[in-house]
Chain A
Amino acid sequence: MSVVLALGGAALAQCTRGPTTSEVTVPDFVAVYYQSFKSDSSNDVVEFFGGVCVTAVGGEWTVMAERVTVTGLTGELGLQAPNPSLYLGPWVITAGSLEATLEELVLTEATVSGPDVDGGARRLSVDLTTSEITMSDLHLNSVAFAVRGTVAVLRGESLTLVDAGVSTCIGMETPPYEIVGLRADVDLGARSVVLEGGALQLAGANLPLQESITISEESLAAFSLPVKVQNVPDPGRQGKPGSGLGVRLVGLPVGEDVSLDVGATGVDTEHDTGLVALLRTNTSIPGSRAPDPATTVTSTFGLEAGLPYLDVDLERPLTPWLSLSLGAFSGAAPGQDARHEAMAQLTASTPVSVINGRIGAEVFSAATALAPSLDPSLTSIMGTRIGGAVFATARTGTTAIGTLSLETRA
């Protein structure tokens, strides 16, 4: 933002008549401030050069260039400038060329800077009547995300893109992932994007998404943005699966209580690439009779870093005070050794009104085997465990500072 303001200041400094700066006005069109001027009646043009500033009569826009040619003096008035800088509200646009009429400004090979955003477009036109900016082949980076589109229209702070792409990988020529859509509506003020007809493009795959996706700073803060980028260290360069840079889209809804994580690990050049495709379920199975409690099953299974991965937990209340948990795990977190484990646990607890809490006990039995990630079939450590614990929780009533809770476990 400070750069934009500095440039704006420079533009204003040159856009006044001064000791060595002359002025020319074209009624109802522009005022031009320049060092040198030459008219050519036979070709119906005038040329300003040596540092030129052109401002609209109403001050809506300003163009600065080394050389500006005004054409069509006796016909249709026009303006041409190579390598201009256009100052339009909060936007600073530099370009390879500018052509203007009384109705519009057209710039080619433009770079765009605005409030907290910058980017470029192959062609950019400004409707001088509506101040609407139409761009083709636009790419724009903000502090939150990068967007692109084959056609883009900016009205105030509202940017609409056609054949749009959005990624949080900002400033990368080819982002490792991109959410593409038929259309994107970007609110530059709120820094949010609504993408319609979207699909995830990742590692050559094209995965359809929800009909409408909203990406905003709030969704970033709440981690609801479905993209996670992780960098798993690889000490000693052992080349463990999942090491290095990984990108995954998490929580893609594929059904009721079923979501999908997809992505890849080791997408950087120094590590092996592994596919991530994990289905996550969270199922509640009702009891066979009406008062019977439901059984809860959570599971994650699929491929993690290209290797099989399974994590299942089942919890079933046996009585109001006794519940059974069964769990099974087989797989490896990125960059870690593989672990295979099964566990059963019984938990008994009962409410105690005196302490406004519960007391209880639990016992469990588990069998665990560890295997090197580079050779999961080779078990390195194996063992069983049996354990137990007692616990108590107590809560106060509501106080001025809230509710206090205490839990002890042994």
Chain B
Amino acid sequence: MRRLVHHVTLALLLTGCLVTAGAQAPFAALSINSAGPQVMDITTGITTLPQGGSVVDRDTGVSFDAAHIRYLDGSFIEATGVTMDGAFGSLSADLVRIEMADSLLTASGNLRLHRDGLVVTATDLRYYALSNIAVFDGGVTGSEPSFSAERVLLDVISGDVLLVGGYSFTSGMFTLTSPTEGGTLELRLQEVDGVLVYDAATDVSPDLLRRFSAHF
């Protein structure tokens, strides 16, 4: 039995592997390249890359490097010490987990997202790849522009942002503060004279509400 496991490990060392969960769905066809040995628990089917590696999703373009990776073919990938690029921008986090069946990416721990016109830090992130909506929770703060909120929703395609709950938002010389019972503030991405800026509105447009409605 030890000899068999050794052979599996060697085989995985030599070749990248493809983790699939279904055709055409985001995160359905992840390509994993190990930076070291891979260990597969044949009782659970979970493979561990103790020296980490890189992961690429051909459909979403998501790719990341991680210091440590665990995955179960067709089910999930879990990585620590992650630096990730994708449609949502560049993300770094202590822990990232991708649920392939739900096309859901979650991240936590020293979370930081950076994209054109927006930098966000938060405790937790859920990225719904099917709807291209990212939801940040837990002491969400932003720079470029400067804001804070209990929850922040990001449409990764349009770049529009919704601050939810108690929030503050600074734009130029303004610092907006939510009502004491909380509220919503729409930040709509605009390009003015070649510069990306956010226009803010307390009356959220119906279009944005519809896009974010499932994630309030």
Tally of chain A residues near chain B (CB < 8 A): 25
Q: CA of A42 to CA of B203 in the docked complex: distance in angstroms?
A: 19
Contact between B192 and A42, CB atoms less than 8 A apart: yes
- Listed stretches B31-39, B123-131, B172-180; interface member: B172-180
Could you say which residues of chain A place their CB within 8 Å of the CB of B174? 24-26, 39, 46, 73
Contacts of B202 in A (CB 8 A): 22, 34-38
Of A12-20, A315-323, A389-397, which stretch is located at the interface?
A12-20
- A66 within 8 A of partner (CB): no
Does A27 interact with chain B (Cβ within 8 Å)? yes
A349 within 8 A of B: no
On whether the beta carbons of B175 and A25 are closer than 8 Å, the reply is yes
Q: In the bound complex, how far is the Cα of B197 from the Cα of A26, in angstroms? A: 19
Q: Considering the chains assembled together, what is the distance between the CA atoms of A262 and B152 in angstroms? A: 80
Does B171 have its Cβ within 8 Å of any Cβ on chain A? yes
Q: Across the interface, do A24 and B176 meet the contact criterion of CB distance under 8 Å?
A: yes
**Cα(A322)–Cα(B126), bound, Å:** 120
Contact in complex: A23, B177 (CB < 8 Å): yes
Is the Cβ of A27 less than 8 Å from the Cβ of B180?
Answer: no
CB pair A41–B192 under 8 Å, yes or no, is: yes
Closest to B175 in A: A25
Chain B residues numbered 188-206 whose CB sits less than 8 Å from any CB in chain A: 190, 192, 197-203
**Are B200 and A74 in contact (CB-based, < 8 A)?**
no
Q: Report 28 cross-chain contacts, Cβ distance below 8 Å, ordered by A residue.
A: A17-B177, A20-B181, A21-B179, A22-B176, A22-B177, A22-B178, A22-B183, A23-B176, A24-B176, A25-B177, A26-B173, A26-B174, A29-B173, A34-B202, A36-B201, A36-B203, A37-B200, A37-B202, A38-B199, A38-B203, A39-B201, A41-B192, A41-B197, A41-B199, A46-B174, A73-B172, A73-B174, A77-B173
Q: How far is the CB of A194 from chain B (nearest CB, A)?
A: 46
Instruction: Please name all residues of chain B whose beta carbon is closer than 8 Å to the beta carbon of A25 when the two chains form the complex.
Output: 174-175, 177
Most buried by A among B173, B175, B198: B173
Task: Report if A40 contacts B (CB, 8 A).
Answer: yes
Are A38 and B179 within 8 A (Cβ)?
Answer: no
Q: For residue A77, which residues in chain B have a CB less than 8 angstroms away from its CB? A: 173
Q: Which residues of A contact B (CB under 8 A)?
A: 17-27, 29, 34-42, 46, 73-74, 77
CB pair A39–B171 under 8 Å, yes or no, is yes
Q: Which residues of A contact B183 (CB under 8 A)?
A: 22
The residue in A22, A26, A38, A40 that gathers the most chain B C-beta atoms within 10 A of its C-beta is A22
| Residues of A close to B173: CB separation below 8 A | 26-27, 29, 73, 77
Distance (Å) between the CB of B208 and the closest chain A CB?
13
**Is B179 in contact with A18, judged by CB distance below 8 angstroms?**
yes
Give the shortest distance, in Å, between A177 (CB) and chain B (any CB).
55
Task: Determine how close the nearest CB of chain A comes to the CB of B150; give it in whole angstroms.
Answer: 15
B179 contacts A41, CB within 8 Å? no
Docked pose: A40 CA to B199 CA in angstroms? 6
Name B's interface SS. Answer: strand
B14 to chain A, nearest CB (A): 55
The 3 closest A-B pairs by CB, nearest first: A19-B181, A38-B201, A23-B177
- CB contacts (< 8 Å) of B185 on chain A: these are 37
In the complex, residue of chain A having the shortest beta-carbon distance to the beta carbon of B172:
A73
Bound form: Cα–Cα A27–B171 in Å: 12
The distance in angstroms between the C-alpha atoms of A46 and B197, with both chains bound, is 14
Contact of B200 among A17, A18, A23, A39 (CB under 8 A): A39
A37 touches B177 (CB 8 A): no
Nearest-CB residue, chain B, relative to A48? B202
* A21–B190 CA distance with the chains assembled, in angstroms: 26
Residues of B within 8 A of A35 (CB): 202
Residues from chain B with Cβ under 8 Å of A34 in the complex: 202
Using A21-B179, A24-B175, A73-B173 as known contacts, list a sample of 5 further A-B pairs with CB atoms less than 8 Å apart, ordered by residue number in A: A23-B176, A26-B174, A37-B200, A41-B190, A46-B200
In contact, A37 and B176 (Cβ under 8 angstroms): yes
Chain B nearest CB from A151 CB (Å) reads 35
Distance, CA A383 to CA B199, complexed state (A): 99
Query: Which chain B residues border A46 with CB–CB below 8 Å?
Result: 174, 200
The CA-CA distance from A74 to B171 in the complex, in Å, is: 11
Closest to A35 in B: B202
**Alpha-carbon gap, A18 to B179, bound state (A):** 6
Q: How far is the CA of A39 from the CA of B176 in the complex (A)?
A: 11
B171 proximity list for chain A (CB < 8 A): 39
Nearest-neighbor residue (CB-CB) of B187 within chain A = A39
With both beta carbons as reference points, the residue of chain B lying nearest to A42 in the complex is identified as: B192
Give the residues in chain A near B198, CB-CB below 8 Å: 41
Expressed in whole angstroms, the Cα–Cα distance for A96 and B42 within the complex equals: 80
Q: How far is the CB of A47 from chain B (nearest CB, A)?
A: 9
A37: B residues at CB distance < 8 A = 176, 185, 200-202
Whether A20 lies near B199 (C-beta < 8 A) is no
Bound together, the chains give a CA A24 to CA B169 distance in angstroms of 9
**Residue of B with least CB distance to A46:** B174
A19/B179 in contact, CB under 8 A? yes
B40 CB to closest chain A CB (Å) equals 54
Nearest Cβ on chain A to B178's Cβ, whole angstroms: 6
What are the residues of chain B within 8 A of A19 when measuring CB–CB? 179-181
Task: For the complex formed, measure the closest distance between the CB of B199 and the CB atoms of chain A, giving whole angstroms.
Answer: 5
Compute how far the CA of A40 lies from the CA of B172 in the bound complex, rounded to whole angstroms.
12
- B residues less than 8 Å from A42 (CB atoms): 190, 192
The CA of A42 and the CA of B200, in the complex, are separated in Å by 12
